[in-house]
Amino acid sequence: MTGTTNSYILVTGGAGYIGSHTVVELINHGYNVVIVDNLSNSSYDAVSRVEYIVKKPVPFFNVDLRDSEKLGKVFEQYDISGVIHFAALKAVGESTHIPLKYYDNNVNGTIKLLETMAAHKVKTIVFSSSATVYGDVTRFKDMIPIPEHCPNDPTNPYGKTKYVIENILHDIYNADTTWKSAILRYFNPIGAHPSGLIGEDPLGIPNNLLPYLAQVAIGRREKLSIFGNDYDSHDGTPIRDYIHVVDLAKGHIAALEYLNNVTEGAGLFREWNLGTGKGSTVFDVYHAFCKAVGHELPYEVVGRRDGDVLDLTANATRANTELKWSAEKNIDDACRDLWKWTTDNPKGYAVAGYQWTTLAGTDGDYTSRVHTVTKDDLSVSFLNYGASIQKVEFKNQNLVCGLDTLDEYKSQDIYLGATVGRYANRIANGQFEINGETVKLDKNNGENSLHGGSNGFNKQNFLGPIVKRSADEENLILQFVLVDKAGANGFPGELIAAVEYTVGNDFVEVEYSATTDASGTPVNLTNHSYWNLAGNKSTIDGTQVKLATSKALEVDPNTLIPTGNVSTLDISNLDGKVDNCLIVRESSQINTSSESLVEVLEASHPDSTLVLRVETTEPSFQLYTGDYVDIPGKFGPRCGFCVEPGRLINAVNVEKWKQLVLLDNKSTYGSRTRYSFKLKN
Ligand code: NAD
Ligand code: UDP
């Protein structure tokens, strides 16, 4: 099976290092996935980045496996056909100090999981075991590379929990031979996803060789300690079987498919080693990583580490032949990918100056996250909902209208702070012609289609964000993405829309980009924040503005569609009603991002010391004084004004403007707008 049904694979520990990579591979192979993780050794950011990579939402539950009631609810809510069970505590050294915690979490957690599976008649499980169950294999003369039939003798509580769980699964199979259990014994997982978006994010001082070396390379640790160079290997350091985490992840798909192909009604209990079959010494790995980094890294040879043995290399023949799986990547690939992950995420998933929480009353609802970045005097908050701007606070003064709860956001229809798409502004009669055919759109504004239709981008949950620092470390960048399905609100073709916010110490810039699989589809993206510079006042009355242009599109007062004429509009304050499209420059490209920013508006209010400046690469902007706002108890008419840079109204139906908005599958749509803040001179 490659994900042909509506059933789900439950991934326990899916927010962790190996789990997150496996979820990506599962989804790439067409499986539906639901994740359960108590985040005891991981963060939700990993899940959010998995979603960004696969461009799909992935249901996630912050549940401890030992909480049978909550776990049972997940099984009730989803049609689960099989489980991949990663969730465990895994630090060998720690397990010798707190063995009970390890037995409770790993063994008891697995028992609760198995009970819940049995109660829901789910009998397929792929289990994360470890080469550690073999113990010190050098006690035998001829067991390296290690085959699956090598006797087990784990030497620490962690390894013993794996050994016990393997035995539990075997006993369950003996009692009911319709259970299907794949025991995967991993050797040394290393590396990261080639995108640099997910990887290993160890808490505290890393125990393992490569995570430690990566921290040396990034300057978080002084030097690597090499634990002994007096072993019987080509350079005196111990030999391990290092396997790229993406290869390892793919091994789980192979095992799952093997189980799914077991004869109907029959079961299976079988162990497979997942390794490359090739051993590398500590120095081999050290040199490979130095090569990836581009220079030598400091190290010191110290004494042997307790419990280390000369050689732990897998015999992976069984997995190669039965699962038809073998590792494809080598340690150079793993080191390159680890270095990308490390340089892109020097502190792992944490980013200084960034934090997220959830909107009021939605604890645990990860779709209602509020992402706040703080840079000197500026603090800006964003939502996944609509990739919206919720708050812009400069020198302690809030400058935009924002709401507190997701319900409030969902019930308003004024595009508050939201990304407007697929098509900002109006399309006359809700239709346009392409390739000689008429395409009909959702009409949500009288006869017209407005702001992308009744279920536009403002009502969608964007995926992400990926949060990082700019190359010069100065600014914070948040990237959201949305996959808008073909036919959504009537628009042809799938559209992948990316919204990237950059926050500096006195500005927030938004860059839009979009691609499609259609031969032609109209696109026009903008932001619909309601700005208010009057301090805490509920009205924008008194706001003074300087506009870069007085050229406005004349519109029919009834339909608000351009007549084709250009009128002159001199606006110096926002005391009257304004809802006009002002023309900044002639431009004839679908992608304006590479153009230079042009200042289109400066605004201030006598009651405040702050000035807002809006610059854009776009040919025009809609200026709107918020006269129709009505959010009872929150915001009324003229609570804020909108500056919406974009393409000219109804461009898709005007021959000379069409090329500004019609995107095809060979081009990328793009634009940039910057809102900056300063004190009055
Ligand atoms: P990890 O710590 O990154 O991932 C394990 C995840 O399980 C974490 O996200 C953690 O929060 C979660 N978890 C732990 N206990 C839980 C509980 N009671 N309920 C719900 N969630 C819980 O570790 P990893 O490196 O990704 O390892 C995954 C699995 O592979 C583990 O079972 C580990 O023992 C096994 N393994 C790992 C290695 C290795 O070197 N990384 C080697 C062999 C085997
Ligand atoms: N190692 C090392 N210095 C370190 C960490 C590990 O020399 O800081 C060596 C360790 O002795 C072993 C190999 O690197 O030979 C792999 O160790 P790791 O802890 O990564 O995995 P293990 O094989 O012990 O599970």
Using CA of residue 39, residue 41, residue 45, residue 46, what is the dihedral sign?
A: negative
Question: In this structure, what CATH number is given to the domain that contains residue 523?
Answer: 2.70.98.10
Task: Kindly indicate the confidence band of residue 363, based on its pLDDT and cuts at 50, 70 and 90.
Answer: confident
Residue 209 within a domain: no
Residues 516 and 636 in one domain: yes
What's the rounded Cα separation, in Å, for the pair 548 and 221? 53
pLDDT, residue 536, reads: 75
pLDDT in tens, 382-440: 999 999 999 999 999 999 999 999 999 999 999 999 999 999 999 999 999 998 999 99
Question: What would the mean pLDDT of 497-510 be, rounded to a whole number?
Answer: 98
* C-beta 95 within 6 A of ligand 1: no
pLDDT, residue 1, reads: 45
pLDDT, residue 264, reads: 82
Using CA of residue 648, residue 654, residue 659, residue 663, what is the dihedral sign?
A: positive
Question: What would the mean pLDDT of 487-502 be, rounded to a whole number?
Answer: 98
Residue 564 within a domain: yes
- Ligand 2 pocket (Cβ < 6 Å) reads 188, 207-209, 212, 224-227, 238, 240, 282, 305, 308
* 3: pLDDT strictly greater than 70: no
* C-beta 274 within 6 A of ligand 1: no
* 522: pLDDT strictly greater than 70: yes
**With DSSP H G I counted as helix, E B as strand and the rest as coil, what are the percentages for the chain, rounded to 5?**
25, 30, 45
Residues 50 and 164 in one domain: yes
* 242: pLDDT strictly greater than 70: yes
Question: Which protein residue's CA is at the shortest distance from atom 35 of ligand 1?
Answer: 128
Residues 488 and 603 in one domain: yes
pLDDT, residue 83, reads: 98
Residue 287 within a domain: no
Question: What would the mean pLDDT of 118-145 be, rounded to a whole number?
Answer: 95
Residues 594 and 505 in one domain: yes
What's the rounded Cα separation, in Å, for the pair 291 and 564? 62
Residue 261 within a domain: yes
* 594: pLDDT strictly greater than 80: yes
> Which residues are catalytic, by number?
528
Q: Judging by beta carbons within 10 Å of its beta carbon (0-12, 13-18, 19+), is residue 73 exposed, middle or buried?
A: middle
* 2: pLDDT strictly greater than 70: no
Residue 403 within a domain: yes
Query: How far does residue 209's CA lie from ligand 2's centre (Å)?
Result: 5
266 neighbors 177 (Cβ within 8 angstroms)? yes
Query: How far does residue 238's CA lie from ligand 2's centre (Å)?
Result: 8
User: Could you tell me where the beta strands, DSSP code E, fall in 293-375?
Assistant: 299-302, 311-312, 354-358, 369-375
What's the rounded Cα separation, in Å, for the pair 279 and 185? 16
Question: Which protein residue's CA is at the shortest distance from atom 21 of ligand 2?
Answer: 208
Query: How far does residue 12's CA lie from ligand 1's centre (Å)?
Result: 9
* C-beta 186 within 6 A of ligand 1: yes
pLDDT, residue 361, reads: 80
- Testing ligand 2's pocket by substitution, the residue of 95, 137, 144, 208 carrying the most ligand atoms inside 8 A of its CB is 208
Q: Say if strands 32-36 and 8-12 run parallel, antiparallel, or are unpaired.
A: parallel
What's the rounded Cα separation, in Å, for the pair 231 and 304? 9
Mutual orientation of helices 109-119 and 68-77 as an angle, nearest 10°? 40
* C-beta 166 within 6 A of ligand 1: no
Residue 307 within a domain: no
pLDDT in tens, 298-354: 999 999 998 888 999 999 999 999 999 999 999 999 999 999 999 999 999 999 999
130 neighbors 159 (Cβ within 8 angstroms)? yes
Residues 496 and 360 in one domain: yes
pLDDT in tens, 155-164: 999 999 999 9
Average pLDDT score, the chain? 96
* C-beta 671 within 6 A of ligand 1: no
Q: Which residues, 6 or more positions from 481, have their beta carbon under 8 angstroms from its beta carbon?
A: 52, 55, 462, 463, 464, 496, 497, 498, 499
- Residue 39 CA: nearest ligand 1 atom is 11
- Start-to-end CA distance of the chain, whole Å, equals 67
Q: How many domains does the chain have?
A: 2
Question: In this structure, what CATH number is given to the domain that contains residue 247?
Answer: 3.40.50.720
Share of the chain above pLDDT 90, in %: 93
Residues 48 and 141 in one domain: yes
Residues 377 and 318 in one domain: no
* C-beta 502 within 6 A of ligand 1: no
By C-alpha distance, which of 41, 153, 40, 160 is closest to 99?
160
What's the rounded Cα separation, in Å, for the pair 269 and 391? 55
What's the rounded Cα separation, in Å, for the pair 664 and 25? 29
Question: What would the mean pLDDT of 484-501 be, rounded to a whole number?
Answer: 98
Residues 319 and 398 in one domain: no
Question: Which protein residue's CA is at the shortest distance from atom 6 of ligand 2?
Answer: 209
pLDDT, residue 546, reads: 98
Residue 540 within a domain: yes
Reading across the β-sheet that carries 369-375, which strands appear in turn? 354-358, 369-375, 378-383, 389-394, 397-398
650 neighbors 562 (Cβ within 8 angstroms)? yes
Question: Which protein residue's CA is at the shortest distance from atom 16 of ligand 1?
Answer: 87
598 neighbors 584 (Cβ within 8 angstroms)? yes
83 neighbors 169 (Cβ within 8 angstroms)? no
Residues 57 and 182 in one domain: yes
pLDDT in tens, 639-653: 999 999 999 999 999
Question: What would the mean pLDDT of 594-608 be, rounded to a whole number?
Answer: 96
pLDDT in tens, 260-280: 999 888 999 999 999 999 999
Question: Which protein residue's CA is at the shortest distance from atom 25 of ligand 2?
Answer: 188
What's the gap between Cα 123 and its chain centre? 31
- Testing ligand 2's pocket by substitution, the residue of 227, 233, 237, 243 carrying the most ligand atoms inside 8 A of its CB is 227
Q: Is the peptide bond before 422 cis (omega within 30 degrees of 0)?
A: yes
pLDDT, residue 236, reads: 98
The Cβ of residue 72 has, within 10 Å, a number of other Cβ atoms equal to 16
Question: What would the mean pLDDT of 197-213 be, rounded to a whole number?
Answer: 95
* 195: pLDDT strictly greater than 50: yes
H helix intervals, 399-540: 406-411
* 125: pLDDT strictly greater than 70: yes
Residue entry with tokens 């794996």: 162
Query: How far does residue 71's CA lie from ligand 1's centre (Å)?
Result: 17
pLDDT, residue 473, reads: 83
Question: Which protein residue's CA is at the shortest distance from atom 12 of ligand 2?
Answer: 238
277 neighbors 145 (Cβ within 8 angstroms)? yes
Mutual orientation of helices 282-293 and 331-344 as an angle, nearest 10°? 50
Angle at 16 (CA atoms; ends 158, 135), nearest 5 degrees: 25
* C-beta 25 within 6 A of ligand 1: no
pLDDT in tens, 220-239: 999 999 999 999 999 999 99
Residues 435 and 504 in one domain: yes
Last residue of a domain, one of 268, 302, 323: 323
Residues 317 and 410 in one domain: no
Residues 316 and 395 in one domain: no
Count of helix runs (H) and strand runs (E) in the chain: 13, 40
Q: Residue 188 belongs to what domain range? A: 8-199+241-278+312-323
395 neighbors 377 (Cβ within 8 angstroms)? yes
- Testing ligand 1's pocket by substitution, the residue of 36, 37, 67, 86 carrying the most ligand atoms inside 8 A of its CB is 86
Residue entry with tokens 């390379």: 217
What's the rounded Cα separation, in Å, for the pair 148 and 396? 64
Residue 172 within a domain: yes
pLDDT, residue 265, reads: 85
- Testing ligand 1's pocket by substitution, the residue of 41, 108, 160 carrying the most ligand atoms inside 8 A of its CB is 41
Question: Which protein residue's CA is at the shortest distance from atom 39 of ligand 1?
Answer: 189
Query: How far does residue 561's CA lie from ligand 2's centre (Å)?
Result: 69
